[in-house]
Structure 1
């Protein structure tokens, strides 16, 4: 009798072990897939993150309501680093090692993502559509890295080229936060100026919480800048551009990368930001509400959250849709490798962002660069080209 009981216990343990082995992939069980996000919900780029999380969660909720993906519901775990790198590292440790996330989306900030890469790679946690367009997001081993759109560097290069030709500009300048993010904006402006035979005349650097730009604007004006590339926070972008206007400096073009193209920048009262340019990897939704798919999406977001849709929601939707399609393509046996295969198969036209998405082996979803200008409180498209066409 004792031998029978022992054999039964061993058989049960073996069966449990086999069941556990079948779902040994971190963040994946029979019923659930855990996705993490480590972003800025309270700092200088919260305008790019809060709505993104809401839009992503909304899409995941819709998927879950229909039974999930291969019988598994998606659970999104979100942490706020407030644009502080030490806090971001702490959050990455929690999400990866405690919450045991399978993959991550919408991690905001260039230095923040860079700090998290070693932790993510050690556990084969994919980093999908981070809220940064820095080139570093696809440097080194890209096995678990996937970016949504074109890079800051190429966006700024494209914008400088267009504005230089359009305005017969001779002097290019930059004002930026001297982080990995800001440095890429600076490099794009400087490199393109030199390539076009223009003068890179001056630059100013700023702390993330700086709000007084009078001295910096005066310095750039005295340097004779015709184009000023900005790599600043959302509110900083508004204040810096508004300061230039107050000082009467209007014969200059200010242009940001995708980090400057936000609904909050366009909607500043009294037309403070009218005339500001930005180059991004997507097209603003507002002038495309005659598209039935875009209109339905915007109305659904408004109904779900009681607030108008904005730039952040566009990015959140795009990231979540890519993850959902990759999970579906990965099949019931979900592993880091099957997810990679799934991500590399994701290919579709994203009507919300108006860009063709194809992750493929290079792991970059979109290659579009859209240059827009604020007119009448809206982002109006004034130029568009493929990233490979930047000269």
Structure 2
């Protein structure tokens, strides 16, 4: 039996026990919602990721929609603040009555809104964060699309210890759920290699002064410093180290593997490493297909496409594939079943393929889907595939 037929049969079977339409499903449209930073420093992630989602929706709507319905996306600003995420989430869930939250950005922000959505039988789909809480513990209506920060760090630590002789590891991390995912990955993999005295220091979101944290990392001899940071704090921490002549190897997760940590750093991040599932798209290096996509994105938004744009585009692409597979009578349960039927869905942008199953709602293979990159000159350069 083919993929579409199998999913349709499963959805039809479930439909006998779920006759009513879920919220957000109308005769002529399906309404989706997201909350993301449209203001503040992390807007460098939020704006392009939401634009990527919009672009995919526009393509689908121009082709006639899905099973007779157009797709509508309501985007709210969470400013990368939990209180604003809570307000945005409540608006989307209760006033706008969205069918699913998709691509909501930020680990702490999703931790506020995800549980509220699930209690209302609203899906929490492909949040733009690689925290393991986005798929663990298991819930039938939550799915993750990104290699977890935890596994990115474990795979990278394994590389640096085995291949570059690193013996002393430090972690400078944002004091929230995101940062703790990075911390746990580094500490757990270090222990696997017999390194038990990891140097750990944290900071509050939005911090500007890293002098005490960097001084501790230096005094305790950390040769590799893992950064549980995004953009401003990444540059600030590395700049502080450079200023005092401290030059360990720096490593960021996918949250910090962004063009801005090169372009805004003005050379300070030269040599820094990053772990990510998907390469940053550089126009001169792109395939003809990716170049055409980047041209289309720039024409639509008058901005260059970046990795964050791809994250939003691919998240919406996979989700809308499942909505189509679910058939005309759309419910959250049917879309979940359709998602679970997706196997080895390819990335057109060089990322890992994704698969789901009834008991596994993480798309990529956590242990072997990360890649290592390094800042060389004005761009991030691929180093190697990672696994542990």
TM over 0.5: yes
The answer to whether structure 1 residue 73 and structure 2 residue 70 are counterparts is yes
Structure with the higher fraction of residues in helix conformation: 1
Contact 2:278 2:371 in 1 (8 A): yes
Q: CA deviation at 1:114?
A: 1.7
User: Paired residue for 1:105, among 93, 99, 102?
Assistant: 102
Moved over 6 A (4+): none
Kept after mapping to 2: 8 A contact 1:229/1:254: yes
Aligned to 1:189: 186
**Deviation of 1:127 (Å):** 1.2
CA distance in 2, matches of 1:377, 1:199: 36
CA distance in 2, matches of 1:118, 1:198: 36
Tell me, in whole angstroms, the C-alpha distance in 1 between the residues paired with 2:39 and 2:95: 23
Match of 2:364 in 1: 366
Matches within 5 A, 1:255-294: 255-268=251-264, 270-286=266-282, 289-294=285-290
Q: For residue 146 of structure 2, what is the aligned residue in structure 1?
A: 149
Which whole-Å CA distance do the structure 2 matches of 1:22 and 1:165 have between them? 56
Taking the aligned partners of 2:169 and 2:65, their CA distance within structure 1 comes to 51
- CA displacement at 1:111 relative to structure 2: 2.1
Q: Does 1:227 align with 2:228?
A: no
The answer as to 2:176 corresponding to 1:179 is yes
Q: Deviations over 1:158-194 (max 9, x none)?
A: 1111122333111111111111111111111111112
**Is it true that 1:50 corresponds to 2:47 in the alignment?**
yes
Q: Which has the higher contact order (CA 8 A, sep 6+)?
A: 2
Superposed CA offset, 1:229-270 (max 9, x none)? 1112311101211222222222x1111111111121122353
Q: Deviations over 1:87-131 (max 9, x none)?
A: 211211111111010011111121221221221112221111101
Q: How far 1:350 sits from its partner (Å)?
A: 0.8
Question: Does the aligned pair in 1 maintain the 2:277–2:351 contact within 8 Å?
Answer: no
2:338 maps to 342
> What residue is the counterpart of 2:235 in the other structure?
238
**Superposed, which structure 2 residues align to 1:13-28 within 5 Å?**
24-28=21-25
The counterpart of 1:321, out of the listed 317, 327, 345, is 317
Report whether the alignment pairs 1:382 with 2:383: yes
Cα distance in structure 1, aligned partners of 2:190 and 2:293: 40
Q: Which residue of 2 aligns with 1:96?
A: 93
Distance 1:153 1:35 in 2: 29
- Alignment-derived partner of residue 16 in structure 1: none
Matched, 1:208 2:209: no
Aligned to 2:80, the other structure's residue is in SS state: coil
Q: Specify the SS of the correspondent of 1:320.
A: helix
- Give 1:24 deviation, angstroms: 2.9
Q: Any conservation in 2 of the 1:175–1:204 contact (CA below 8 Å)?
A: yes
- Between the aligned partners of 2:72 and 2:286, the Cα distance in structure 1 is 33
State the shift of 1:359 in Å: 2.5
Displacement after TM superposition at 1:287 (Å): 7.3
Q: Distance in 1 between matches of 2:331 and 2:284?
A: 38
- Flag the 1:328–1:288 CA change in 2: closer, same or farther, 3 A: farther
Greater C-alpha radius of gyration:
1
Distance (whole Å) between structure 2 residues aligned to residue 60 and residue 374 of structure 1: 33
Superimposed CA distance per residue, residues 69-98 of structure 1 (whole angstroms, 9 cap, x where no aligned partner): 111111100111112112211211111111
Residue segments in structure 1 that go unaligned for 5+ positions in a row: 1-20
Q: Cα deviation per residue 1:245-298 (whole Å; 9 max; x = unaligned)?
A: 222222x11111111111211223532211111112222222784422211111
Q: Secondary structure at the match of 1:365?
A: coil
Q: Which of 31, 37, 41 pairs up with 2:38?
A: 41
Q: Does 1:308 align with 2:304?
A: yes
Deviation at residue 353 of structure 1 after TM alignment: 4.4
2: CA distance, partners of 1:235 / 1:73: 38
Task: Provide structure 2 residue ranges, at least 5 long, that are not aligned to the other structure.
Answer: 1-17
Is the contact between residue 329 and residue 345 of structure 1 (CA under 8 Å) also seen in structure 2?
Answer: no
CA deviation vs aligned residue, 1:199-254 (integer Å, no higher than 9, x gap): 4342221111111222321221111001111112311101211222222222x111
